[in-house]
Amino acid sequence: MLYIVGHKNPDTDSICSSIVLSHFLDAIPARLGDLNPESEFILKRFGVMEPELITSAEGKELILVDHSEKSQSLEDIDKGRIIGIIDHHKVGITTSEPIIYIAKPLGSTATIVGELYFKGMMEFIGGKNRELKGDLAGLLLSAIISDTVLFKSPTTTNTDKDIAERLAKIAGIEDINAYGMEILKAKSTVGSMKPEEIVNLDYKEFNFNGKKIGIGQVEVIDINEIESKKEEIYSVLEEKINKGYDLILFLITDIMKEGSEVLVLGNREAFERTFNVELKDKSIFLEGVMSRKKQVVPPLERYYKNK
Ligand code: MG
Ligand code: MG
Ligand code: MG
């Protein structure tokens, strides 16, 4: 059976892309962890069931969405058979067999799924050119809004905006901005979450030149919502750092200020050199930095490669 699955610590893009693609590919939508409050809000809003939780790849055919790095996938991913990847991150895998690989530098995987649909290309990736109904269009729209932080993230492209508008029409959403603010508010229920939950909400692991790096992120409308929890978040990360990490970063991204407060643990020099800053404290505010994928991962990986 074919499963379509997003990354660990699933976000809205992983969840919604897996659900919508499954509709076209007769596959089972799957997830690798609990839904975050934002995704919960969105699935409820459109009355769609959550994907199935899976814990092993054994005996499964898989299409990965919204990631390609093994460190972000099932622990035993090698026991399954990856037949495809649809993603908007850097290429993070080599495979022993030929696979379907569709990746574009767009704001979300959902944008690619939307584009495949509007271009009538579902058959091209082994699916059927079925209709996209309002509820599923709403999921894709929500994922685009979430990943691009309502089109504010520097990862946003004109294609994201264009596909979002077309999806909004199908979903019957007249005011994308007003709906986007609803989503961002659902995101910012973090104020009432435990620090461990906040850390794991959107935490990703990377391997840069043999070194294990962890980068977490939380997006808030106002940093003050979370300011009082900064110390506790730092303590949670301190427990993690000894588990083989060279560096852990945690980005508290302020959507309105358009920048991120970055907590830094471990190899502080790597961080300082990469971002050309001097760390005087446990954290530093980086103006304009909103995207892990585009503004944090590439320079950091370059640093580790050239060291
Ligand atoms: Mg994602
Ligand atoms: Mg994504
Ligand atoms: Mg994100």
pLDDT tens string 117-165: 999 999 999 999 999 999 999 999 999 999 999 999 999 999 999 999 9
What are the tens digits of pLDDT across the range 73-100?
999 999 999 999 999 999 999 999 999 9
Between the CA of 10 and the centroid of ligand 1 the distance, in Å, is: 7
Between the CA of 280 and the centroid of ligand 1 the distance, in Å, is: 31
Report which bound ligand comes closest to the CA of 7: 1
The per-residue pLDDT for 1 is 93
The per-residue pLDDT for 226 is 87
The per-residue pLDDT for 228 is 87
pTM to 2 decimal places: 0.90
In this prediction, residues 273-291 reach a mean pLDDT of 96
Between the CA of 263 and the centroid of ligand 1 the distance, in Å, is: 20
**Per-residue pLDDT at 107 exceeds 80:** yes
Between the CA of 269 and the centroid of ligand 2 the distance, in Å, is: 29
pLDDT category at 221 given cuts 50, 70, 90 is confident
**Per-residue pLDDT at 168 exceeds 80:** yes
Between the CA of 4 and the centroid of ligand 2 the distance, in Å, is: 14
Between the CA of 147 and the centroid of ligand 3 the distance, in Å, is: 5
Between the CA of 12 and the centroid of ligand 2 the distance, in Å, is: 8
Between the CA of 83 and the centroid of ligand 1 the distance, in Å, is: 20
pLDDT category at 191 given cuts 50, 70, 90 is confident
Between the CA of 164 and the centroid of ligand 2 the distance, in Å, is: 14
Between the CA of 7 and the centroid of ligand 2 the distance, in Å, is: 9
**Per-residue pLDDT at 267 exceeds 70:** yes
pLDDT category at 250 given cuts 50, 70, 90 is very high
Report which bound ligand comes closest to the CA of 291: 3
Between the CA of 18 and the centroid of ligand 2 the distance, in Å, is: 11
Between the CA of 140 and the centroid of ligand 3 the distance, in Å, is: 14
Between the CA of 187 and the centroid of ligand 3 the distance, in Å, is: 11
Report which bound ligand comes closest to the CA of 104: 2
Between the CA of 278 and the centroid of ligand 2 the distance, in Å, is: 31
Between the CA of 12 and the centroid of ligand 1 the distance, in Å, is: 7
For the purposes of burial, counting CB atoms within 10 Å of the CB of 2, is it exposed (0-12), middle (13-18) or buried (19 or more)?
middle
Domains, in order of start, for the chain: 2-187 (3.90.1640.10), 191-305 (3.10.310.20)
Q: What average pLDDT does the chain have?
A: 96
The per-residue pLDDT for 192 is 81
State what percent of residues in the chain have pLDDT above 70.
100
**Per-residue pLDDT at 188 exceeds 70:** no
Which residues lie near ion ligand 2 (Cβ < 5 Å)? 13, 66, 108-109, 147
CA distances in angstroms from 121 to 126, 141, 221, listed in the order given = 9, 19, 37
Between the CA of 292 and the centroid of ligand 3 the distance, in Å, is: 8
Between the CA of 133 and the centroid of ligand 1 the distance, in Å, is: 23
